[in-house]
Structure 1
Amino acid sequence: MSAVKWDARNLGPVPHDLSYYSKCMLGGVLACGFTHAGITPLDVAKCNMQVNPQKYNGLVPSLKTLVAEEGSKGIWKGFGPTFVGYSLQGMFKYGLYEVFKDTYMNLAGEELSNKYKPLIWLAGSASAEVFADIALCPLEMAKVKIQTSPTELSNKYKPLIWLAGSASAEVFADIALCPLEMAKVKIQTSPTGTFPTAFGAAMKEMQRTKLETRFPFGSLVPLWSRQIPYTMAKFFFFEKIVQLFYTHVFTEPKDTYSKGTQLGVTFASGYLAGVVCAIVSHPADSLVSQLGKTSNKGKSVGQIVGEVGFVGLATKGLGTRVIMIGTLTGFQWWIYDSFKAAMGLGTTGGKTAGPVPHDGSYYAKALLGGALACGITHAGITPLDVAKCNMQVDPKKYNGLVPSLRTLVAEEGSKGVLKGFGPTLVGYSLQGMFKYGLYEFFKDYYMNLAGEELTNKYKPAIWLVGSASAEVFADIALCPLEMAKVKIQTSPTGTFPTSFGAAMKEMQRTKLETRFPFGSLVPLWSRQIPYTMAKFFFFEKIVQLFYTHVFTEPKESYNKGTQLGITFTSGYLAGVVCAIVSHPADSLVSQLGKASNKGKSLGQIAGEVGFVSLATKGLGTRVLMIGALTGFQWWIYDSFKASMGMGTTGGK
């Protein structure tokens, strides 16, 4: 009788089938959409710190400035594009990461998968982020434009599998995120009254001004530049940190620990991964914000990079973004793994591939979990996002998180800190769907490619490849929404619509100027792919460490609460790492939405701002934001997975 062919999708009791990937996509939507939307104020402050560091200098001062000039609504600019864009991105980021991870593992075969897991993680996350950023780009462009314009205007090769899975998933996730991200940035950076802050109106305005804003995919390349490395870092470091947790802290099989413990490992791993993500992706993030700046209208990416300078892109708003992304990533992984656990899929990472087979149902659930994880969390931090974007675009005015929020509220009222909420929710729900769903897919795929021996030996590599693969697609989804979000958040009050629909229409109408919908895709990929790779890698690694050295019994022996606690902790820690590594790219994304950067190339913007500014401006806010965001994203995702009978992510 012939031996049964090794398949990464069938390593656990829950097969990675279409249902599994679909659930992972949903989990990604939940993980990214809600978390990114939730930190909109931090994002607004961060974007403005990157675009106008003289005005927005520091998280608190930036928030104060935003509130003072626009009222409380000022720190919520871009909420709509953020929610939509990152829900889309999360869908692709997580869903496609799962798909690419499985795919690359199967391509590598059992031996190579076990040996080169870290490479597979990286490849998977990068692949996913490409698609995630396509979805995100239009919304990210709109969001940055709103936020940054002056107010007055498989065991051996698991790391390889993680990388491949997350990267593959991010490709699709960013495609979904891009239009909403553009709208979000536009809402968050436009001067009060110059751009609609309502989700629908903002999307309409982005569409109407698509020649100017380059909506819906003008930010796709910057978005990919930010998101693919961000996602690769996010997934790689998450997987690695999870692995470390389950190897050195929780040494028993992951399934022997309660769900609460597993989710705790998830959050911790996600937070740490998020910190790394924020740092590596910050220059691209700053560039995305700069693209939404009114003064950058018509400028190429190179022009913007040249004017801002790489140092400026890498440092402006970095502190805020490290805080933001660390928290964000921790919650994202926690939400994602909570969803997975609720779906009976098990939590991510650790010493087992999962308690259920990775079939179509598994992947479908992962997609849903990703959408929930990213959409809710990103939308929830809209005030932070608004502050961050304005700190990146106008650091002189928005100097620090709290001052930026105060300025936004003072100038635009409380609604000022919620600009870009719509694009954020939609964009990151899409991105999360692809990010998480495709990560699950790519991780399994790369593990099967590598084989059992290589998978066991190189898990970190598989995590990185898987997350990078997922992020490629996630960013395609995110890009239009991210562009809209940034445009909303950085445009002077009254110069750009703040409602979602109007902003998207305006981005489309001014697309020649704004480069909508994929003008921010490269910076987005630069931010998101390393971010996602760090997010998933460190999450998986931290979860692994928890279940190896702390919770040493089989993961299933622990209750859901314990597993989800591990998920949140791992996600939070992974998020901190993510924020740091992706901050320069994040600053660049914000700069792209700056009016003064219109028509400038990424190189011009990077050169003008400087790398130090790109890497540091708004970093503190972003670390806080992404750490919490990632922790909750993973928690939501794993909670969803657990509720669907998929188990939490990682562990034995």
Structure 2
Amino acid sequence: YAGFALSGLVGCSATHAVLVPIDVVKTRLQTDPGRYAGVVDGGRAILREEGPGALFLGAEATLAGYCWYGLTVYPGYEFWSRTLNGLLAPAAAAEFHAAVVLLAGALATVLACVGVCPAEALRIRVVADPARFAGLGLAGSARRVADDEGADAFYAGFRPLFIRQVIFGMVKFFFFDSLADAIFEAAPALADGAGGRLAVSLVAGLVAGTASSLVSQPADAVLSRINADRGDLGVAGAVEAIWGEGHVRGFYRGAGARCAWSGLVISGQFAIYDALKSLLSVAGPDLTLFLDVAL
């Protein structure tokens, strides 16, 4: 459990830290619709108008939230996968392997989301309204939200966040496992070397991250809108506001940035796992079984 917790913490924190600028642009596109023409224009405008530091707004909250996510999801997933498999006969466990993997991931997500939700609430507020939190730091920004909005503001977006993570995880597992199996079946020699396994993990992770991002994008848009409006809208109000701004397209504002972000995050985390597997003494197939990357 400690090994999976450590690998989860390292994988999540490292990849999320590197890709904070993409997350900032995505959040701005969602919370300030119409201001930027797209991902590239948004990035250039933020850099030009606010300086390089603006591309790292909310970085402290991002690291705090996803350190917690990696620290809890990995051992949680290990625990639930072992527990669920232990309840089934060997034949049934093999037959329902996919269902067990998905259910274990969903159960592990519950505890992880408890810590990620307040961090995401704070991150989105800092990105959407940087003047309000200028110079406060992580603790000071959290106190500002608590004083101005109440402690319950940190969990105003829990439902869309939980839905986002569960959907993302389910689609991610399906695409990664299916694509990796197909590649290894077509080219078995790739499984014999570390370089080949790493390449397969990167490709499968990129595709899985992109697909998962597209499917879970509406929930992410609702989460961003709730927190940008200080939790006043609620889920129904956020959905109505987004629909009024662009119908279905409104829910996919910033999808390009998020697809790039999530594809790179998952590919990076698979690469980190491949590098750490010797240290953890985990075989290649075990990585597929126990991996649950958070986005």
Same fold at TM > 0.5:
yes
Match of 1:573 in 2: 207
Which of 614, 623, 633 does residue 269 from structure 2 map onto? Answer: 633
| 1:612 and 2:287 are equivalent in the alignment | no
Q: Using a 3 Å threshold, how does the CA distance of structure 1 residues 537 and 98 change in structure 2: closer, same or farther?
A: farther
Match of 2:112 in 1: 132
CA distance in 1, matches of 2:68, 2:273: 14
Q: Using a 3 Å threshold, how does the CA distance of structure 1 residues 632 and 58 change in structure 2: closer, same or farther?
A: same
CA distance in 2, matches of 1:196, 1:551: 54
Match of 2:144 in 1: 506
SS at match of 1:57: coil
Kindly tell me the number of residue pairs found equivalent between the two proteins: 284
What CA deviation, in whole Å up to 9, does each residue of 1:519-549 have, x standing for no partner? 2211111111111222233222222223222
Q: Which amino acid aligns with 1:196?
A: A
Match of 1:650 in 2: 288
Provide structure 2 residue ranges, at least 5 long, that are not aligned to the other structure.
290-295
In the alignment, is the contact (CA less than 8 A) between 2:8 and 2:73 conserved in 1?
Answer: yes
CA distance in 2, matches of 1:56, 1:39: 20
Match of 1:519 in 2: 156
TM-score by length of 1: 0.42
Match of 1:23 in 2: 3
In the alignment, is the contact (CA less than 8 A) between 2:30 and 2:225 conserved in 1?
Answer: yes
How many angstroms does 1:79 deviate by?
0.7
SS at match of 2:36: strand
Q: Relative to total residues, which structure has the larger strand share, 1 or 2?
A: 1
What CA deviation, in whole Å up to 9, does each residue of 1:87-118 have, x standing for no partner? 21122223322221222122222122211222
SS at match of 1:60: helix
In the alignment, is the contact (CA less than 8 A) between 1:45 and 1:56 conserved in 2?
Answer: no
Which of 530, 550, 566 does residue 167 from structure 2 map onto? Answer: 530
What CA deviation, in whole Å up to 9, does each residue of 1:452-503 have, x standing for no partner? xxxxxxxxxxxxxxxxxxxxxxxxxxxxxxxxxxxxxxxxxxxxx3x22222
CA distance in 2, matches of 1:100, 1:122: 10
Q: Which amino acid aligns with 2:234?
A: S
How many angstroms does 1:38 deviate by?
1.6
What CA deviation, in whole Å up to 9, does each residue of 1:575-614 have, x standing for no partner? 111111111111111112213x542211111111115144
Match of 2:293 in 1: none
Q: Which amino acid aligns with 1:133?
A: C
| 1:53 and 2:33 are equivalent in the alignment | yes
How many angstroms does 1:83 deviate by?
1.3
Q: Which amino acid aligns with 2:60?
A: G
Match of 1:304 in 2: none
Match of 1:34 in 2: 14
What CA deviation, in whole Å up to 9, does each residue of 1:149-203 have, x standing for no partner? xxxxxxxxxxxxxxxxxxxxxxxxxxxxxxxxxxxxxxxx114x32136xxxxxx
CA distance in 2, matches of 1:584, 1:646: 36
How many angstroms does 1:632 deviate by?
0.3
Match of 1:233 in 2: none
Q: Which amino acid aligns with 1:500?
A: L
How many angstroms does 1:45 deviate by?
0.9
Q: Which amino acid aligns with 1:569?
A: V
TM-score by length of 2: 0.89
Which of 118, 128, 133 does residue 195 from structure 1 map onto? Answer: 133
Q: Which amino acid aligns with 2:196?
A: T
What CA deviation, in whole Å up to 9, does each residue of 1:17-50 have, x standing for no partner? xxxx221121111222121222111111111111
Q: How does 1:61-210 map to 2 (within 5 A)?
A: 61-147=41-127, 189-191=128-130, 193-196=131-134
What CA deviation, in whole Å up to 9, does each residue of 1:602-638 have, x standing for no partner? 1111111115144310011111111111100121133
SS at match of 1:123: helix
Q: How does 1:183-582 map to 2 (within 5 A)?
A: 189-191=128-130, 193-196=131-134, 497=136, 499-512=137-150, 515-551=152-188, 555=191, 558-582=192-216
In the alignment, is the contact (CA less than 8 A) between 2:209 and 2:266 conserved in 1?
Answer: yes
CA distance in 2, matches of 1:113, 1:552: 28
How many angstroms does 1:511 deviate by?
4.3
Q: Which amino acid aligns with 1:571?
A: G
How many angstroms does 1:645 deviate by?
1.4
CA distance in 2, matches of 1:110, 1:511: 52
Q: Percent identity?
A: 25
How many angstroms does 1:650 deviate by?
3.2
SS at match of 1:53: coil
* Structure with the larger RCO, 1 or 2 (CA within 8 Å, 6+ apart): 1
CA distance in 1, matches of 2:208, 2:31: 26
SS at match of 2:54: strand
CA RMSD of aligned residues (A): 2.0
CA distance in 1, matches of 2:148, 2:270: 36
In the alignment, is the contact (CA less than 8 A) between 1:85 and 1:140 conserved in 2?
Answer: yes
In the alignment, is the contact (CA less than 8 A) between 1:80 and 1:500 conserved in 2?
Answer: yes
CA distance in 1, matches of 2:178, 2:139: 40
Which of 227, 231, 234 does residue 601 from structure 1 map onto? Answer: 234
SS at match of 2:57: strand
Match of 2:225 in 1: 591
Q: Which amino acid aligns with 2:70?
A: G
Q: Which amino acid aligns with 1:618?
A: G
In the alignment, is the contact (CA less than 8 A) between 1:25 and 1:95 conserved in 2?
Answer: yes
Structure 1 ranges of 4+ moved more than 6 A: none
Q: Using a 3 Å threshold, how does the CA distance of structure 1 residues 25 and 543 change in structure 2: closer, same or farther?
A: farther
